[in-house]
A = this chain, B = another copy of it.
Amino acid sequence: MFRRILIANRGEIALRILRACHELQIETVCVFSEEDRGAVYLNLADRTICIGGPFPRDSYLKSDRIIAAAEVTGADAIHPGYGFLAENAAFAEKCRACKIEFIGPGADAMRLLGDKASARALAKKTKIPTVPGSDGVFENDSEALRIAERTGFPLMIKATAGGGGRGMRIVHDKTDLLTAIKQAQQEAQGAFKSTDLYIEKYLERPRHVEVQIMADHDGTVVHLGERDCTLQRRYQKLVEESPSPAIDGRTRKDLCAAAVKLARAAKYTSAGTVEFLVNSKGKFYFMEVNTRIQVEHPVTEMTTGIDLIKMQIRIAAGESLDINQRSIRPRGHAIECRVNAEDPEAKFRPCAGRIEQFHPPGGFGVRVETYGHEGCRVSPRYDSLLAKVIVHQPTRPEAIRCMQRCLHEFTIEPIKTTLPFLHKVISHPNFVAGTVDTGFVERTF
């Protein structure tokens, strides 16, 4: 086991890793930027070391300084958390070249799965469904027609250079295809000076469902069930839950098996997440892989009773998984809400400043992951995530009731947060019924 781990992150995830290290009786070094000097979570580290200025590019993203910090403090491993350098394969390689273990997957697996094109290719090779389409630009109308027949309708014409909906057309029927291509080409030419188009199946009201996997160096790969992260706003997850209210037992089994198969094919190690889109008929399509621990990992910890960070560290230290697929028995229903320091009434503008009042919720089945406390400063330089509220109850209706209670109980003043917004979202009849899709929040609020 490692003797001393350097934590190359900040805020709630740094605190989360510090706690796991304490329980594993591993010494800790926590880096910090000048902006984070004096943060209370740093008190829990055995040692702290300043690595640069407030901006991430001057500190938390400065790989050489972080490795130097590990060297001068005698750390034998680095935990990157999420964000910053967590999915940087070059950083992982550099750490290992300096004889400091990077707590995460191998650099090859990171590169293979981190790149969308190569991950999609691997998924196709291992017979995992991907969103059907043209696999790149089509050359002419007849090729487009051929691909469209194969893809099926409705489908989407998308400009490779596209964005904001321009150069994009939804086509419901073969007879509309060529007209739609012409319109899209004109629009794309005008907007992006490029007429390159590709075809992708149009998924109506898809859900985002992801599978947590864990793999050791002996080749053992297990999944820990799925998380449904359909509630998003501008591609930022707001609420995550497990199990997904929208898939049946059969789909769940297939989805989880697909995730394990892909991880095996990539010779993956450590914690990872395989993300899928699921359409309204329960058919799923591979989307991408996150080669790191995720913000929403506590949802899975609550249902499985397994500490994912401790497990990640043990695997990195060369230990074999002490669980097998059969011993993992998720129980009850867990929901996480991300409480951001943002003003929902001012276009979710980030809010910074000193927290004067801070009363987090507690009680049966409630966990709050946060670096916040009374007197704590919220910096404008970093991600606005202030706290994660996670609840675990026997059933989904009870979990929703418990989360409503928690969001109501949570007092943070005077900084504006997304607490009232989250309360509205999880109390909406469509969320309660489990019928939302990834576009729900933007359409509804």
A residues in contact (CB < 8 Å) with B:
15-16, 19-20, 22-25, 40, 44, 298, 301, 305-307, 309-310, 331-332, 359, 361-370, 373-375, 392-394, 398, 401-402, 405, 408-409
Contacts and interface: CB of A to CB of B under 8 A. Distances in A.
Most buried by B among A366, A394, A408: A394
Contacts of A307: 364-365, 393
Contacts of A40: 359
B373 A359 contact: yes
Determine which residue in A16, A20, A305, A401 has the highest number of CB atoms from chain B within 10 A of its CB, and name it: A305
Given A359-B373, A373-B359, A394-B306, A22 B408 contact: yes
Given A19-B405, A305-B392, A374-B375, 7 more contacts: A20-B364, A23-B398, A23-B405, A362-B368, A363-B367, A363-B369, A373-B374
Nearest to A19: B363
Contacts of A309: 364
12 contacts: A16-B363, A19-B363, A19-B405, A305-B331, A305-B332, A305-B365, A307-B393, A359-B373, A362-B367, A363-B369, A366-B367, A374-B375
A366 B305 CA distance: 12
Nearest to A394: B305
B402 A23 contact: yes
Nearest to A322: B394
Contacts of A23: 398, 401-402, 405
A94 B49 CA distance: 64
A362 B18 CA distance: 11
A369 B374 CA distance: 18
A253 to B, nearest CB: 22
Tell me the dominant secondary structure on chain A's binding face.
mixed
A409 B44 contact: yes
Contacts of A15: 363
Interface centre among A362, A364, A367, A401, by most chain B C-beta atoms within 10 angstroms, is A364
Contact of A401 (B25, B301, B305, B393): B25
Contacts of A365: 305, 307
Contacts of A409: 19, 22, 44
A413 to B, nearest CB: 13
Contacts of A22: 405, 408-409
A314 to B, nearest CB: 12
A40 B360 CA distance: 12
7 closest cross-chain pairs (CB), A and B:
A19-B363, A22-B405, A374-B374, A307-B364, A23-B401, A23-B405, A23-B402
A310 to B, nearest CB: 8
B19 A364 contact: yes
A369 B362 contact: yes
Nearest to A361: B19
A39 to B, nearest CB: 12
A392 B375 CA distance: 30
Contact of A364 (B298, B373, B408): B298
A300 to B, nearest CB: 11
A392 B331 CA distance: 15
A207 B129 CA distance: 59
A433 B366 CA distance: 31
A81 to B, nearest CB: 14
Nearest to A307: B364
Contacts of A393: 307
